[in-house]
Amino acid sequence: MKIGIIIGSLRDGRKGESVGRWVHERALARGGSAEYELIDLKSFGVPLLEWEKVPGGAKKQYPHDSVLAWSAAVDACDAFVLVTPEYNHSVPGGLKNATDWLYPEWQGKAAGLVGYGSEGAVRAVEHWRLILANYSMVVVRQQVALRTMEEFDGAELTPHDWRPDELDTLLDQVEEAAGRQPA
């Protein structure tokens, strides 16, 4: 089983890199049979979705090499952990745009949500639950809600003592949900 940990912020100086590294390091330290891969959305350069085709009917034939590479990275995973900031009480536009470019690559897979923001990105996480339901994804109950005013030193994450246990529960749930998905 391969689980992609997607860093969903595109901003310079973003906190998402340190959150993604923390999730990835914790996942690797657990051992087990799942393979975890850190996927940095920013490295793909996915353009704004202005294509006339509906991605669900595109049969993974996209007009940009960057979207083809993004498609291959997502398609190769059985499940995901989305590392998402909260922007203006919702999801970050870059990650939403990149999500919208694809359809079959997400279909029916499992996901967990790790958010960060002034209130732990709880509104963004709730919005992601609705968005991902459109792909018939199984979004696990556990979430990690990191508070930027309490758990960061600049862009570096300094999580509360209980956060690793929360993350372990999320990863357990994602692995379990991904194991129940049809191949």
Q: Where are the domains of the chain?
A: 2-179
* CA dist 48 → 67, 78, 108, 122, 153 (Å): 10, 25, 25, 26, 32
| β-pair type (2-7, 35-40) | parallel
What's the rounded Cα separation, in Å, for the pair 149 and 145?
12
50 burial via Cβ count (<10 Å: 0-12, 13-18, 19+): exposed
Q: Which CATH class is domain 2-179?
A: alpha beta
The dihedral formed by the CA atoms of 175, 119, 18 and 128, expressed in degrees to the nearest 10: 40
Residue type, 162: W
How far apart CA 21 and CA 5 sit, in angstroms, is 9
3-state secondary structure 90-136: ECCHHHHHHHHHCCCCCCCCEEEEEEEECCCCHHHHHHHHHHHHCCC
- pLDDT tens digits for range 36-77: 999 999 999 999 999 999 999 999 999 999 999 999 999 999
pLDDT in tens, 130-178: 999 999 999 999 999 999 999 999 999 999 999 999 999 999 999 999 9
pTM: 0.96
